[in-house]
Amino acid sequence: MTKVSPLLAISPQVRDAVATWGQQLSAIHGAAQNTVVAYQRDVAGYLHFLAIHRGGSEGLAHLASLPQGDLRAWMAHERARGLSARSLARALSAVKSFTAWVADRAGVDATTVLSARAPRFKRKLPRPLSVQGAQDMMDTVAGQATEDWIAARDRAVITLLYGCGLRISEALGLTGAADPLPEVLRITGKGGKTRLVPVLPVARAAVAEYARLCPYDLSSDAPLFRGARGGALNARLIALVMEKARMQLGLPATATPHAMRHSFATHLLSAGGDLRAIQELLGHASLSTTQAYTAVDAARLMEVYEKAHPRA
């Protein structure tokens, strides 16, 4: 049986509304494309459920003023099919955003839907590597490849993650125009937000060595980091390289590419870095997000607080 998209089960009017809402999330609120797609998928699933649950597709005005019982039925359905509390909380956030958007245009009160509480879940705290563990990871990754240029490439990518706090997508998004690396990189991160990131000499040297050995032409508009056949390097390959390295080093499964970014933030704060400055370097919109990124004990956070707090 052919699987039908949830969006096909709802009316063209509502389907168009979902598309327009997604476009505005991107254009006005700066949401990343992956976020928009995920939110639209969540809302499509919600609308598909309602069409079946209520015996037909609802008009836009009715969607904004549904009784909370229908919303709870959807949430119970999602949990019953195995959706985690974390994923359901994200889906509910998408549904609320769409509902608020619809209510604003239809001129109806969406308080019932918007007041629904998300399921509670325990946030997983990041587990950064130790300083020695991060160094060992970079060294071990560089010693795995059979070709010198690939070894240099892998080391350069990992060094950027740890030395500059880049996301893997940001590192792999660099083009040949970034070679040689400047002292300060302009990075466009999530939601199209731009930030300036200082580049350590060790990172510049690692990328320069890779560029020297790379057998492909690193033109300014082409990807800086290449796969074995010359195409853009896939993030999964870096994850696999780190997986192999952590097994050699006896590191936990949490020693992933993203953990290098966590390690960057944690080690900076442990060395006396300012939390606000680290927030800027990571490109976080909220300071609370940066705090979650840093695995520093309460005593260290209190020390930072005491130094930063203005005294009368």
Catalytic hit among 46, 162, 210, 293 = 293
Q: Is 293 tagged catalytic?
A: yes
H helix and E strand count, the chain: 15, 2
Question: What's the burial of 144, exposed, middle or buried (CB within 10 Å: 0-12/13-18/19+)?
Answer: middle
Answer yes or no: 62 catalytic. no
Q: Of these residues, 226, 246, 262, 284, which one is catalytic?
A: 284
Determine the Cα–Cα distance for residues 30 and 14; give it in Å rounded to an integer.
Answer: 23
**Which residue is listed with tokens 């245009």?**
105
284 among known catalytic residues: yes
Task: Specify the amino acid at residue 219.
Answer: S
Q: Give the number of C-alpha atoms closer than 13 A to the C-alpha of residue 232, restricted to the C-beta side.
A: 15
Structure tokens at 232: 């853009």
Q: Please say if 258 is a catalytic residue.
A: yes
**H-state helical runs in 165-231:** 168-172, 201-213
Buried b (16+ CB within 10 A) or exposed e, 30-48: ebbeebbebbbbbbbbbbb
210 is catalytic: no
3-class secondary-structure state, position 229:
coil
* Helix (H), strand (E) at residue 298: helix 298-308
Instruction: Indicate the burial class of 194 (C-beta count within 10 angstroms; 0-12, 13-18, 19 or more).
Output: exposed
Active-site position among 155, 204, 261, 267: 261
**Strand ranges for 149-263 from DSSP E:** 184-188, 194-198
- Contact between 214 and 230 (Cβ < 8 Å): no
CA dist., res. 108 & res. 60, Å (int): 10
Beta strand residue intervals within the chain, DSSP E: 184-188, 194-198
Q: Which of 79, 190, 195, 300 is catalytic?
A: 190
Query: What number of other Cβ atoms are within 10 A of residue 247's Cβ?
Result: 12
Which of 15, 48, 155, 167 does the annotation list as catalytic? Answer: 167
| Catalytic annotation, residues | 167, 190, 258, 261, 284, 293
